[in-house]
Each structure stands twice: as structure tokens, then as C-alpha cells.
Structure 1
């Protein structure tokens, strides 16, 4: 288990310094901030782990930062889930898989939420399908992980603050290890 966690931390440390798709933070800063907000909300370890790892798919695809400008959806949530499934169960995987859907859901039900999205997030929303239809929102809410995905989405949206002090990556080892199922 320790080697598995170290592999994840190494990926975040080595590739995480890349710019975060038009935002003023790196992928690593964004990940640490999302985990910070989850921890501050006293979320369970699985949700803190999901917050830390929710955008790991961005580190696994091989597209440049301008991917949204080219109108491409990398499906980073799916890439990340496929990769993380070898270590985590649905309590971590499903909120990550649903965090893009949660943005679409929130945009459909809350005009104020849509209005506060960053320019980059609005651009990716259009590529990801735009706000959900009424039928899509009903289907989304049937997932047992919809509420966790919505919480993750809100931490994701908060986690774009330039120079926000956060704890180091190793601080989250406990959450990652606790969220890994025992064999």
C-alpha cells in the first residue's frame, strides 16, 4: 500500500506543477487546495482523497493546456477513475467520476452557481455538454454518490486561489491510506 500511495504522490509532484488549464494555479496547487477545503469541511477520508485526486486524469492524458480552446473534452474524470480504480473503491472513485456531471447539474439548477464559474470552467462546461436537462438532473440525483460529487465540485471550484497557503502533499497520506480498501 505504501508504494501505491507513493506512486500517486510522485505523479502529483512530477507532473502537478503544470499550469491548470487557464487558471492561476498549477494542477498540484489546485489539488492541494481542493483537499484543504474538504478537510476544512471535516469530510471523511474518502472525500478528502477524492478532492486531492479528482483531476489526476489531467496528468495522465497527453493534451496541452489549450485543449478546451480546441474544443476537446479529454474526459479527464474517466481517465482518472480508470487509473485510480486499482487502489480505491467507489467511495473515492464515484465522486471523482461524477464531479463534471455535478458541475453540469449545479449549472442547471442554480444560475448564481453558473455566474460564479471561472472563464476556463465556463469554456469546459460547454465542451462537457452544458447545463443538464431536467431528465439528466433527475438521473444524476439517483446516484448514491451525487451528494459527495456536489461537495467535491464545490471544493473544486474554490480551489483556484493564487498563493493560497496549503499543507504539503505528505499531509494527505493518512487520508489516502485510510481510503484504500484493506485486502
Structure 2
């Protein structure tokens, strides 16, 4: 696994500043750090917090260049597989299917979506059918992907709190130490 340095992680996050977020009122950096903050508030473990911060990394210029033509969640998952590990990669890959799952299984969920998210839902395949939903729910990490999806949907407030980059870096460093791999 090609580990990511703490400095490079901070550069990646800071490089998202000013990048539009699909018609939402926040930029990519604010969205990433708000999602991570919501993950911390939700009691997520360190690896899930890092995955939350990087769930849209597939939209970053360098990641798009490495994986041209892939949807952002799959490009981000490929990147995460190399730099973070398989769990983070799966969760990142599944944050879009988790939206489709929630629309299919939670009657109140659709009303929580922004206009931009509703528009992208159509492109992403709409609600899952019963077979897709059952297969998604059966995966051992499905709950993590659903949690990430809910934090993702809530992380669109231009005035909302964010996780500071330094705190995200410290969280990442704990992940690296727990995995016993050098940074």
C-alpha cells in the first residue's frame, strides 16, 4: 500500500478550496471537512472519519487525471485503496449507492436531499430495486456507508462547523499508527 504523508493529506484537502461542489452552496474543501466533523460528532472511528473527509476525493484534479472516465466515487475508491486501505475504499465507493439505498428504504430520506442531489440521483440510477437494496444491506460495511451518506447530505452549510485540517491530519496519523505502517 502506498501510504499518504500527513503533509500530502493537508495539501489535498487545502487543494479542494474554491472547487465548486455541484451546485451546492459550499466548496469541496468545506464539504469534506464538514462531513468529517459530522462523522466525529456521530462517534465514527478514525478510519471512518478519514473516509468521510475524502469521500469525494475522486473529484480532485489529480485523482480525476489518474482515473479518467470513472465516476467520482469509483475514482476516489481506487485512490483510497492505494493510500488508505480496503475498508475506506469500499465505503467511498458506496456513498453514491447508499443514497440510492436510502431513497428506496427510508420514506423520509428523499425530502432531505438538496436539489443538486435529487438531480444527480437520476443520473446515478434512481432508487435501488428490492434486490439491489437487499444486497447492499447485507454487506458488513453497509451501515458505515449509510452513515457517511447521511453526513454527506448534511455537510452543505456554508456557515456550518468543519473539522480543522490539523485535526484531520492527527486522525489520519492515528490510523497509520494503528495499522502499523510507516507514514
TM-score range, shorter chain: 0.7 to 0.9
Kept after mapping to 2: 8 A contact 1:23/1:160: yes
Alpha-carbon spacing, 1:82–1:16, altered in 2? closer, same or farther (3 Å): farther
1:54 counterpart residue number: 55
1:29 counterpart residue number: 30
The runs of at least 4 aligned residues of structure 1 exceeding 3 Å deviation read none
Number of aligned residues: 173
Please state how far the C-alpha of 1:8 moved relative to its aligned partner.
2.5
1:151 counterpart residue number: 147
Please state how far the C-alpha of 1:46 moved relative to its aligned partner.
0.9
Q: How does 1:2-21 map to 2 (within 5 A)?
A: 4-21=5-22
Please state how far the C-alpha of 1:178 moved relative to its aligned partner.
2.4
Please state how far the C-alpha of 1:5 moved relative to its aligned partner.
2.8
Deviation readout 1:39-90 (Å, 9 max, x if unpaired): 011210011111111011111327xxxxxxxxxx951111011112122122
Measured on the aligned residues, the alpha-carbon RMSD in Å equals 1.9
In the superposition, the TM-score normalised over structure 2's length comes to 0.87
2:104 corresponds to which of 95, 104, 108: 108
Please state how far the C-alpha of 1:29 moved relative to its aligned partner.
0.3
1:175 counterpart residue number: 171
Kept after mapping to 1: 8 A contact 2:16/2:27: no
Kept after mapping to 1: 8 A contact 2:3/2:83: no
2:127 counterpart residue number: 131
In the superposition, the TM-score normalised over structure 1's length comes to 0.87
Measure, in 2, the Cα distance between the counterparts of 1:2 and 1:109: 37
Instruction: Single out whichever of 144-153 and 80-89 deviates more from structure 2.
Output: 80-89
Q: How does 1:54-93 map to 2 (within 5 A)?
A: 54-59=55-60, 60-61=63-64, 75-93=71-89
1:161 counterpart residue number: 157
Unaligned runs of 5+ in 2: none
Kept after mapping to 2: 8 A contact 1:92/1:179: no
Unaligned runs of 5+ in 1: 63-72
Measure, in 2, the Cα distance between the counterparts of 1:27 and 1:128: 20
Kept after mapping to 2: 8 A contact 1:58/1:76: yes
